[in-house]
Every structure is written in C-alpha cells, then in structure tokens.
Amino acid sequence: MNIKFSILGILIVSVLFVSSCYYDKEDLLYGGANSAPCTDTTGVISYTQKIVPMLQQYCYSCHTGSFPSGNQVMGTYATDKAMAQNGKLYGTINHAAGYSPMPKGMAKMSNCQIATIKKWVDSGMLNN
C-alpha cells in the first residue's frame, strides 16, 4: 500500500512541477502591439507630429525639469536631437546591449514606434 501512495505522490508532484513551467510569448500567440503593421515609417517623419507625442508619452515625464532622471535632459528639439545623435535614444528604446532599457517601469515601445524613431534619426533628425 505504501508503495502505491509513494508512486501516486511522485506522479502528482511531477505533474504539478511540469505544469508550473509554462511560458509563452503573448505577442507571438495573439499578435500584440509589437507585431502590428507599421505605416509610420514611409515618407518623411515629422518631429512635431510623430516623434514629440511618443517622447511625451514615454520619456518627458522623467527626463525634463530641474532634476531629470539619470541626468538625461529631454523635452526640446535640441536635447532630443542630442540624445538621438549620440545613439542613446535608439539604444535605450530598442533595449540594446550596453544601454539602460527605457521606458523604466513601462512596457517597451512597439516595434512600429521604435522603427518610426529610427527612421527619423536615420533621416537626419529634422525639426519639422
């Protein structure tokens, strides 16, 4: 009798252990925001109409004012362009190695948003 209970106990523990190791990628299974088609990267990217709203949503709340987070000031064309020119803007939002992933405490920007910022950077960071 004790052998049957031992085998049953081992079987139950094994099933619980295996079922607790479940992992999936939501965006691959359900087509999340990061896999949505991107239409913002065609033509000239407007700093005022496309880039500023994204930076306001994800960056400016921490990186403006008298004491910006990480001593990284943003919020004007000059400061945003400087972040883009030195590679920090793209490196941080793309979560590249060697950069602090941003935005902190929030979900990563969508692939489309990152591609839009990259297109703006690659196009010369126009103030338009």
Among residues 41, 67, 62, 54, which one has the least CA distance to residue 123?
41
Residue 64: its pLDDT value, please? 94
Structure-token pair, residue 47: 């700093």
Residue 26: its pLDDT value, please? 47
Residue 30: its pLDDT value, please? 43
Residue 29: its pLDDT value, please? 44
Mean pLDDT by 10 residues, the chain (128 residues): 71 60 46 58 87 96 93 96 97 96 93 95 95
The H-assigned helical ranges of 20-127 are 26-30, 52-58, 77-85, 88-93, 111-122
pTM of the model: 0.70
